[in-house]
Chain A
Amino acid sequence: MNASLNFIGLEISVIGLGLVLMLADFFVPAERRRFIGYAGIAALGVLLIMSFSGNGTCSNFGFGFNNAFVNDGLSLFFKRFFIVAAILVLFIAAEFSDKLAAGSIAEYYSLIIFALAGMLFAASSNDFVMLFVAIELITVTFYVLVSFQRSKVASLEAGVKYLILGALSSSFMVFGIALIWGTTGTLNFTELAAVAPQFETSRIFLLGVLLVLVGLGFKIAAFPFQIWAPDVYQGAPTPTTAFLAIGSKAAGFVLLLRVLFTAVPSVTLHWEKLLIVISAITILYGNLCALPQRNLKRLFGYSSISHAGYLLLGVAALNANGQAAILYYLAGYLFTVLAGFLVIALVLRHLETDDVSGLAGLSQRSPLLAATMTISMVSLAGIPPLAGFFGKFLLLKSVIEAAQKSHHYGYIYLVFIALAGVVISLYYYFNVVRAIYWSKEARDLSPIALSAPAKLTAWVCIAGIFWLGLFPNTVLNLANQAATVFVAVTK
């Protein structure tokens, strides 16, 4: 047991950090509490640097806790990813603090850190129990984070919706885990991979796996479990929405990849049709529903559904390039989405609406924010030389590869559906850009004052988007390495 503790030093430090931030609440006067966030950012920054210098426990590869916990290339990739996401979200939260109930910001920070801890555990899960605990840690903190603006009805409504649907999907997942345990007698991914081929014909076992996928589909907002996303994205405080869009989705994807490609690879192999259909419908649903949206956060909600669909392309492709493409795409999505939410948080916090027209005249009010939002939209639309383009390129490439290998016509249809989705999405993303640069409805043209950290965040996001679009080598190599942990599925 003590040896196992060597693997979870990072998680322990993060939970400790959350507790410290919560305690700091008692000692810091209310008007200064937003600065607590910067302490949290500094601490996470140190942990991030340690993960790169090789001193951190997350670079200590191996299994712990009776193989329930694993540190490998994949977990390392995602742990860095989650820490970067949390740092940027804390910056957004610090800017957003005046919209939250007076003095409650420290609590908000610590909840973000606890959610981060859940994501770190999710990245290392090698056991259905660990998976479930990690998911619950994320989901339960998000129940609070979503309904944090207690005085706002929309926020409470979003919280209730998320609670009910989240609890429902968790119960499906527990049921699924129970069925898997009942049939195979093991919950460990490694052991399961060895015995799963024997149970391929057992309907109860397959139902169990399917129900686990239902729970994960809820996390990533894939069709048909996407129904909560637009409402919750719209109602939740903007920093929460940002963390939900990137952290929670990525946690869902790392677990999905682990379950499909390390726990039950032999089953996944037969589910290519299911994955193709889900991916296709998710892309079309997200993009078509986003078309008429005027509410910016709701637009992001639908667009996040469509991006779940694009990411599922890489799952459906069932090859190593597809898995690496997912990781790369998520890395690009991180900077892109957070850039978008940063602008939403800064520009719309003083407005009553979240309408796209709130961005009118932004090019004159703040050229930096206008540029940030434009770059984010263009990258989401997948246009070079930005991160979104290279990610989509890798995903499409993996699917075409699968089409060529398997001669399955479904893959060819899938490519064209993804293409249709991209074209549809151009319309609504460019609508946002149009509102920023050449909308005539601008009423308020007063300049927006930006704090130094806000400017820094914007520049970091822009740099990240360009870096991943222009110099993909580093991250692509990391992603390729991380994807080597998956068992190669071949027919």
Chain B
Amino acid sequence: MSILTYIAGWPLLAALVLIVVPRNFRVIIRAIAVLATLISAVLAVKMFCNYGSALPDADGYRFVQQIPWVESLGISYHVGVDGLNVGLILMGAIVAFAAALCSFEIQTREKEFYILLLVMTGGILGAFASLDLFFFYFLHELALVPTFIMIGVWGRGEKKNYATFQITLYLSIGALIALIGLIALYIQCGANTFDIPKIIEHAKTNPLAVNAQNFIFPLLLFGFGILVSLWPFHSWAPLGYGVAPSPTSMLHAGVLKKFGLYGLIRIALPLMPQAAQSWAHVIAWLCVGNILYVGWVAMRQKDLNLLIGNSSVAHMGFIFLGIASLNLIGITGAVLIMVAHGFLAALTFALSGYIYKQTGTLEISALGGLCRKLPFIGTALVMAAMAGCGLPGFANFVGEATVFFGAWKAFPTITVIALWGALVIGGIYMTRAIRNVLHGPLPEKWNSLSDASHLWRKLPYALLLASLFVFGVWPRLLTEKINPDAVKIVAQISPAPSADKLVAQSENSGVRN
């Protein structure tokens, strides 16, 4: 049994156990959920540390396990990690643990909530570990559906029903378009297997015809794009996150949303290189929509959660820009931001969830001066906001800087616009939010607020901040893992790879921090 099976399996097993626990054993239910996600997180850290010493298999994957599932279709349960997903799995497991800790805000129907949370965790970790197209999609859907139910049942605000149906329909359309793309890929490839390494191997000798690529690539791009809130398909995201209970937003915005990006890098780029090249301009211009337009929208938000939701959509633009640049530095940067943004999005939604729990509102004009009553939460929020504008020292800076270096070669104009969006617009809305929420006079009614008092309550925020720090100060932990696999992907896209410069690059950014 691979360690990956345990990482994804413990939460699912715990979900099954919870079904039989009576619903009034609240403490036990919560303890089981926290424990299962903790085990996952510890195992993920262990896996991450042992990554270097584990032996890769013939295709370059480590911790591999394969069990045939449906032989006649060539579907098998196949998990493994390489540099692209090792960071994502670590990030997902840590965020899931933090989300389980933050779930104390749920007071009704806890049993169902924790079951759904654990299913979501297991599904998404399994999807990232999966090296089989079918399971890749299947486990993602398994994680996606609990989101809808959680928003519908435990969501907040008057727009709950509208938001539930909007996110359900929007994301289902995206997932189904991607499914059609994946099936078409399977059939077009002709290898009669859903196994990703085998398909890629097969495509090396029998590359897909260009017109088939041009049919399938947009399906995957827009299917995954909807899931990742690519502009102009992003409108579900801010509202959905604004309404969702904070553990759900943490897991969805932080982890689940990265699925589409990961899919593009893992599947679409190596299998459809020509189409990727001809669509790169489209992706690059669309991500300007994310960075500039959605950033601009974020500036006008009056609700803290909507602001965070919009800023999270804006951050997706940097990742798309990295992918669109189609070179080694850009793709490495994209993977770095995926990991960094996962921690960041989870942290900000967890903090806004805490504030909402205390005050019952996230209306920015109603808040103010909270830092005096909530020193710990307030400080954490300042740090998160600074990480969000790309302050050096946090993981986001490393990723964004790397993406800009990569994108400069491919799209100089767009890079300039994106830099403007990242440094100026991001800076404006983040600092403005900090000023209005945390500083200034404290309204009378918030005198009774209490800060995260003991270690247990502080743990999720501290854990996420620490992760942002670690990868911000020591990005080599990730880049040295990503590099060899990103080289492989770039080699498949363009016959003449520019592999030489990355090492120097990552060292530079490491030094600068």
Q: Does B169 contact A (CB under 8 A)?
A: yes
B187 touches A396 (CB 8 A): no
A400 touches B142 (CB 8 A): no
Residues 394-438 of chain A: 1 if any B CB is under 8 Å from the residue's CB, otherwise 0? 001100110010000000000110010011001100100010011
Of residues 151 through 185 on chain B, the ones whose CB sits less than 8 Å from some CB of chain A are 152-153, 165, 168-169, 172-173, 176-177, 179-180, 183-184
B169 touches A427 (CB 8 A): yes
Point out the residue from B73, B138, B169 that lies within 8 Å of A423, measured CB to CB: B169
Residues 174-208 of chain B: 1 if any A CB is under 8 Å from the residue's CB, otherwise 0? 00110110011011100000000000000000000
Q: Does B500 contact A (CB under 8 A)?
A: no
| With contact pairs A430-B168, A438-B153 given, residues A397 and B183 touching in the complex (Cβ less than 8 Å) | yes
Residues of A within 8 A of B186 (CB): 397
CA distance A437 to B109 in the complex (A): 11
A423 touches B173 (CB 8 A): yes
Q: Does A110 contact B (CB under 8 A)?
A: no
Point out the residue from A389, A437, A473 that lies within 8 Å of B70, measured CB to CB: A473
Q: Does A45 contact B (CB under 8 A)?
A: no
B172 touches A476 (CB 8 A): no
Residues of B within 8 A of A427 (CB): 165, 169
Q: Does B444 contact A (CB under 8 A)?
A: no
B70 touches A419 (CB 8 A): no
Residues 354-391 of chain A: 1 if any B CB is under 8 Å from the residue's CB, otherwise 0? 00000000000000000000000010000111000100
A384 touches B187 (CB 8 A): no
Point out the residue from B73, B165, B180 that lies within 8 Å of A430, measured CB to CB: B165
Residues of A within 8 A of B73 (CB): 476
B70 touches A384 (CB 8 A): no
Residues of B within 8 A of A224 (CB): none
Nearest residue, chain A, Cβ from B69: A473
Of residues 220 through 237 on chain B, the ones whose CB sits less than 8 Å from some CB of chain A are none
Q: Does A472 contact B (CB under 8 A)?
A: yes
How many residues on the A side are at the interface (Cβ–Cβ under 8 A)? Answer: 27
CA distance A400 to B212 in the complex (A): 12
Nearest residue, chain B, Cβ from A394: B73
B187 touches A404 (CB 8 A): yes
B176 touches A476 (CB 8 A): no
CA distance A404 to B172 in the complex (A): 24
A400 touches B141 (CB 8 A): no
Residues of B within 8 A of A419 (CB): 173, 176-177, 180
Q: Does B72 contact A (CB under 8 A)?
A: yes
Chain A interface mostly helix, strand, loop or mixed? helix
B72 touches A480 (CB 8 A): yes
Smallest beta-carbon distance A19→chain B, Å:
42
Residues of A within 8 A of B165 (CB): 427, 430
Smallest beta-carbon distance A306→chain B, Å:
15
CA distance A236 to B141 in the complex (A): 36
CA distance A426 to B173 in the complex (A): 10
A396 touches B179 (CB 8 A): yes
Smallest beta-carbon distance B121→chain A, Å:
15
CA distance A427 to B165 in the complex (A): 7
Residues of A within 8 A of B168 (CB): 426, 430
How many residues on the B side are at the interface (Cβ–Cβ under 8 A)? Answer: 27
Smallest beta-carbon distance B115→chain A, Å:
11
Residues 138-153 of chain B: 1 if any A CB is under 8 Å from the residue's CB, otherwise 0? 1001100100100011
A389 touches B153 (CB 8 A): no
Q: Does B57 contact A (CB under 8 A)?
A: no
A400 touches B145 (CB 8 A): no
CA distance A422 to B71 in the complex (A): 27
Residues of B within 8 A of A171 (CB): none
A437 touches B153 (CB 8 A): yes
Of residues 474 through 491 on chain A, the ones whose CB sits less than 8 Å from some CB of chain B are 476-477, 480
B172 touches A422 (CB 8 A): yes
Smallest beta-carbon distance A135→chain B, Å:
33
Point out the residue from B69, B141, B184, B188 that lies within 8 Å of A389, measured CB to CB: B141
Nearest residue, chain A, Cβ from B119: A385
CA distance A473 to B69 in the complex (A): 7
B179 touches A383 (CB 8 A): no
Nearest residue, chain A, Cβ from B212: A404
Residues of A within 8 A of B70 (CB): 472-473, 476
A404 touches B138 (CB 8 A): no
Residues of B within 8 A of A404 (CB): 184, 187-188
Point out the residue from B69, B141, B177 that lies within 8 Å of A383, measured CB to CB: B141
Nearest residue, chain B, Cβ from A383: B145
CA distance A427 to B169 in the complex (A): 8
CA distance A297 to B177 in the complex (A): 31
Residues of A within 8 A of B134 (CB): 393
Residues of B within 8 A of A401 (CB): 187
Residues of B within 8 A of A385 (CB): 138, 142
B contact set with A: CB distance below 8 Å: 69-73, 134, 138, 141-142, 145, 148, 152-153, 165, 168-169, 172-173, 176-177, 179-180, 183-184, 186-188
What are 27 pairs between A and B in contact, CB < 8 Å? A384-B145, A385-B138, A385-B142, A393-B134, A393-B179, A396-B179, A400-B180, A400-B183, A400-B184, A404-B184, A404-B188, A416-B180, A419-B173, A419-B176, A422-B172, A422-B176, A423-B169, A423-B172, A426-B169, A430-B165, A430-B168, A434-B152, A438-B152, A473-B71, A473-B72, A477-B72, A480-B72
Known contacts A401-B187, A415-B180; can you find 13 more A-B pairs with CB under 8 A? Answer: A384-B138, A384-B141, A397-B186, A400-B183, A404-B187, A419-B173, A422-B172, A422-B176, A423-B173, A426-B168, A430-B152, A473-B70, A477-B72
